[in-house]
Structure 1
């Protein structure tokens, strides 16, 4: 595991292997992989398997506002690791991290900041 991986893990906290994520979202693991390809989720290799941040799943659904935000971050040219770090790093202008703001249904504020990355 690289230093960047450790730094990202420290920010993200809990990871869900795709099998566990699939159960929580009541879909197949292949559907999770499709969500990752479509920028509805971000997935990385952790412990030898593909995993997503646990914060991306709320009450059996993908966190509201996350797919649009991930598309914006991708359009801005951020890599998966850069997008994860951006989502989970505290931003005094929000306040809190973008993922916390999404959880609190403040997606518009998050997307405005994502658009400013261009």
Structure 2
């Protein structure tokens, strides 16, 4: 796997997500269970990269990409690391490409990893 920069990424815990999304803790957990958001335990508490939240909502193109990678047998940690790392074939990180509206390109690369 390529080099990642998780330390430079802001992470949101469940209470942070409740505040950022304006949702109940139960609804936040459901968003995670249904793969609208993905997180992991880093430095103790379960947290989600803040970059996965846009305008108070989960990034819409995140879920399908997460599902493609999960189907390719990536663990949640591996998915997050891949999303945040520079991807040579995209010329930037997959999350940066998704934020720029390049969902099809990111999913094509993700499918090629399977």
The answer to whether TM tops 0.5 is yes
Deviations 1:17-42 (A, max 9, x none): 11111221111122221122112111
Residue 49 of structure 1: CA displacement? 2.2
Deviations 1:96-115 (A, max 9, x none): 00000011111111011111
Match of 2:82 in 1: 86
Q: CA RMSD in A?
A: 1.6
Match of 1:39 in 2: 35
Q: Does 1:20 align with 2:20?
A: no
Deviations 1:70-94 (A, max 9, x none): 1111111100111111111111221
Runs of 4+ in 1 over 4 A off after TM superposition: none
Q: 5+ unaligned residues in a row in structure 2: which ranges?
A: none
Equivalent pair of 2:39/2:77 in contact (CA under 8 Å): no
Q: Does 1:30 align with 2:16?
A: no
Q: How many residues align?
A: 111
Match of 1:9 in 2: 6
Match of 1:59 in 2: 55
TM-score, length of structure 2 as denominator length: 0.88
Match of 1:48 in 2: 44
Q: Does 1:103 align with 2:79?
A: no
Query: 3-state SS of the aligned residue for 1:35?
Result: helix
Query: Given the alignment, which residue of 72, 79, 95 partners 1:76?
Result: 72
Equivalent pair of 2:38/2:76 in contact (CA under 8 Å): yes
Match of 1:3 in 2: none
